[in-house]
Structure formats: C-alpha cells, structure tokens
Amino acid sequence: MKRGSREAQIAARLAKSYPDAHCSLDFKNAYELLVATVLSAQCTDERVNQVTPALFKLCPTPGALAALSQDELERLIRSTGFYRNKAKSLLGASRMIVEEFGGEVPRKMAALLRLPGVARKTANVVLGNAYGTSEGFVVDTHVRRLAARLGLTRESDPERIERDLMQVFPQREWTALGHRLIHHGRAVCGARKPLCGSCLLSDCCPKTGI
C-alpha cells in the first residue's frame, strides 16, 4: 500500500470503527479541562474523574484555585500521584491565568505554553477539545506507541512524533484522530499484547505479528 493512501486508510478505518471517540476526561470548560489534563499525567483518566468533582465544586474558577494554599491543593489531588509537582504547576498556572489573561484560559498555543506545567500535549488537549481548534497533535503514550508500530514515525521524542503526524494527516483530522488512536491503543494495540489477529489495521501495519 502506497504511502499517502496507507495513511488515508488508517484514518478512514479508525473513523469508521471509533466514530464517537472523544476525550475521556470529564470537563465543562477550558479551565476544568486544563486542570484535569495536568492531573492526568502518570494517572488514569478514571482516577482524575473521581478527584475533579470535589475540586471543581470548591474551586469553580482559576481565581478560586489560585487562592488555595499548596497544602490545601495537595490534599485534594493527592490520589492522582506526583501531587506536589502537580499542585505547584496548577497554582502557578491559575495565578498566571488570573493575573495575565483576565481569568480565561488562553486560546493560543504560545500563550498556553507559558503556563507552568503546560507542555504541547496539554495545550493540544485544551485547544482541540475545549476550544475546537487544532494547532497540533496530541501525543500520549498510546499515540506514541501506535505511530511507531504503524510506521508513521521513526522518532522517539513526542514533539518530533507530533511533527511527523501533522505532515501526513490533514489538520481537520488531528483532534479526532488522536482520540481514535488512543481508543485503538487501549482496546486492541496494547503495549504488551497487541491483538494483531483482530486489528482493523493489520494490513497497514509493518509490525503485525511482531
């Protein structure tokens, strides 16, 4: 299968198989998604979704979160792991949002990347899912693994993987395709035991059976 047509087949088959794939973090607005995404580092989305309702009830805005002490926030998010660093990042980000962005989560990549604890993955999640704009491609552990197995990249650095994916898929597909790759990684193409025999991409994949 020729390069180009192969990528188109990958995108089309994933779209057919996972038409409703979406962000698995619970959120109502960009602020909640930003916080949830920071908390999701080295933690399951399920755990984050258990923690955030109480957090957002107490802190419904960046200003309310910024008013917490480090200790108070650590207690609220402790079960998500790495809670000290996460609390420090969230306090710094919320204060910057209040002081420099009028209490609204920025809508541009460059501005988001200025926030403490926010790298391209988090920024892409917020832009694509809260604001409906795609400036990049979310590269998490699942996307990183599938991109390599499917021969979409030879890179190991997330930002270089992102650039490769952005070159072979249309911008309009970046957000949705990211979700579909993540869903496929969880359901079929696992890290330890990929289910190649039942994979809808087996004839597109150079790693089938390996």
pLDDT in tens, 39-96: 999 999 999 999 999 999 999 999 999 999 999 999 999 999 999 999 999 999 999 9
Q: Are residues 104 and 144 in the same domain?
A: no
Is residue 155 assigned to a domain? Answer: yes
The residues assigned a catalytic role are: 121, 140
DSSP string, the chain: --TTHHHHHHHHHHHHH-TT----S--SSHHHHHHHHHHTTTS-HHHHHHHHHHHHHH--SHHHHHTS-HHHHHHHHGGGSSHHHHHHHHHHHHHHHHHHSTTS--SSHHHHTTSTT--HHHHHHHHHHTS---SS----HHHHHHHHHTTS----SHHHHHHHHHHHS-GGGHHHHHHHHHHHHHHTS-SS---GGG-TTGGG-TTTT-
In a domain, 49, yes or no: yes
Please report whether residue 68 resides in a domain.
yes
Question: Are the CB atoms for 143 and 197 separated by under 8 Å?
Answer: no
Q: What is the pLDDT of residues 119-167, one digit of tens each?
A: 999 999 999 999 999 999 999 999 999 999 999 999 999 999 999 999 9
209 found inside a domain: no
What's the pLDDT score for residue 4?
67
pLDDT in tens, 172-197: 999 999 999 999 999 999 999 999 99
Q: The domain containing residue 175 runs over which residues?
A: 5-21+137-204
1 pLDDT exceeds 60? no
Spatial CB neighbours of 73, under 8 Å, sequence gap ≥ 6: 65, 87, 90, 91
Query: Which of 78, 95, 129 lies at the terminal end of a domain, its last residue?
Result: 129
The CATH number that applies at residue 48 is 1.10.340.30
Give the mean pLDDT of 85-109.
98
Examine the domain organization and report whether 124 and 151 are in the same domain.
Answer: no
What's the structural domain count of the chain? 2
Q: Is the pLDDT of residue 3 over 80?
A: no
Instruction: Give Dmax over CA atoms of the chain in angstroms.
Output: 57
| One domain for residues 69 and 121 | yes
Question: Rounded mean pLDDT of 16-25?
Answer: 96
- Domain CATH for 151: 1.10.1670.10
By the 8 A CB rule, do 138 and 121 touch?
yes
Q: Of 108, 129, 150, at which residue does a domain stop? A: 129
Smallest CA-to-CA distance from 76 within 90, 55, 92 is with 55
pTM value is: 0.93
- Are residue 110 and residue 193 in the same domain, yes or no? no
- Per-residue confidence (pLDDT) for residue 208, from 0 to 100: 83
The residue out of 95, 129, 163 marking a domain boundary is: 129
Residue 90 inside a domain? The answer is yes
Q: Are residues 49 and 97 in the same domain?
A: yes
Give domain status of residue 191, yes or no.
Answer: yes
